[in-house]
Structure 1
């Protein structure tokens, strides 16, 4: 087995030692509740033995957290992680599955506030703090669904020409991740996904919030003018000369402001599992939200 200090290094875990210590402090209590609930459920009720007696889950919580971070960061197989930490593959799989859910439930961190978990939380935060939002989508390559399964073509991305799942990321003006949605098949349009997440309700009830979008969301700009901001359309041959000169500059300014969300997406893509997902598609949304929470921690930890 390798030294625990080596495995907990930022090169392996993807987070600094200070960040790792704060995660241990925050999640140790919830993890203990999960373990006790699992034990009681298996026994059919609360335990009756003395404190400290009975079987112990392995690995310990800190090892499980480090293994989960390594798995998401480098996509190392469960069997290899079990060998490194001295446990069976099934034990490692169970630990990673539980801790990954706890990481996903944290939400996206912002200073002096609870974690942001829904789009409504993000809009309320933006209105209270005067933050101009930026939004963009990213695609994660996934395995092709088996032949004969319904909805197989829904995962074929017209842009990537491969099977993908797509996620929308909302970031602040400084490139900090504020929210990511539930992943959907790559064929679904970004504007449709935003409507499904309730962006129209957010615009109606929080009218002071603006969000910068790309050319693919012109329908949202039409429905919510002044709030859903897209770049001006390109001119044509009959456009006045002054408009032909002004529109490229306006599009450049809009693109420069949206650079912040591109930086946020780059932070997500540093985690290997969000580049190409080779596991069950049902677990990808949990991994995506867990990664968004880890990336957003730099908003508060620096």
Structure 2
């Protein structure tokens, strides 16, 4: 999944403006284990980068396809490839089997959303006030802290 890390950029910093969120920020991609443990955080890309474009540029889509890894993703990743499962697009009325598939898909993805919640729980990343070049380093530091085993 992808998330926007809000920043305090100014209006002229157009690449960092996310039309979807209506704010400036940096896009970070997250790969999580089925239990919600964050496995990998990407380097940050400008906020206007679409999630699927970011996943392709980081090589996530190709790596999963090559290794035949089944990925559960949100609708932003539709068309990513054979191993990426996304929910059905919401038309006005869906057949009951599509509705059930979407419910099951959401239930299975819920633990993976926990990785994003853990990332966003860091106050430093709720609204980054540093250089956009440093956000990727901060995300990697947070990932290290989240995955460290402190039991000595």
* 2-structure distance, mates of 1:256, 1:146: 38
Over aligned residue pairs, what C-alpha RMSD do you find?
Answer: 2.0
Residue of structure 1 in register with 2:71 after alignment = 211
SS at match of 1:163: strand
Distance 2:72 2:144 in 1: 22
CA distance in 2, matches of 1:280, 1:236: 43
Kept in 2, the 8 Å contact 1:232–1:247? The answer is: yes
The corresponding residue for 1:166 is 27
**Superposed displacement of residue 163, structure 1:** 0.7
Q: If each structure's strand is expressed as a fraction of its own residues, which one has the higher value?
A: 2
Counterpart residue number, 1:256: 107
| Alignment counterpart, residue 43 of structure 2, candidates 168, 177, 182 | 182
The equivalent position to 1:281 in structure 2, one of 128, 132, 139, is 132
Structure 2 spans left out of the alignment, 5+ residues: none
Q: RCO greater where, 1 or 2, for CA within 8 Å and sep 6 or more?
A: 2
| SS of structure 1 residue aligned to 2:40 | strand
Task: Give the alignment partner of residue 202 of structure 1, picking from 63, 87, 95.
Answer: 63
Q: 1:268 aligns to what?
A: 119
Gaps of 5+ in 1: 1-135, 238-242
Mapped partners of 2:111, 2:133: distance in 1: 29
Where 1:288 maps in the other structure, the secondary structure is: helix
Does 2:94 correspond to 1:232?
no
The alpha-carbon distance between structure 1 residues 236 and 143, as it changes in their structure 2 partners (threshold 3 A), is closer
TM-score w.r.t. length of structure 2:
0.89
Match in the other structure for 2:3? 138
Runs of 4 or more off by more than 4 Å in structure 1?
none
Counterpart CA distance in 2 for 1:201 and 1:255 is: 24
Q: What are the within-5 Å matches in structure 2 for residues 117-132 of structure 1?
A: none
Give the distance between the partners of 2:66 and 2:20, measured in 1 at CA.
Answer: 34
Q: Which protein is bigger by CA-based radius of gyration?
A: 1
Aligned-pair distance for 1:145?
4.5
Higher share in helix:
1
Change (3 A) 1:267 1:230: same
Q: Secondary structure at the match of 1:144?
A: coil
In 2: Cα distance, 1:201 partner to 1:215 partner:
18
Q: How does 1:90-101 map to 2 (within 5 A)?
A: none
How far apart are 1:263 and its partner, in Å? 1.2
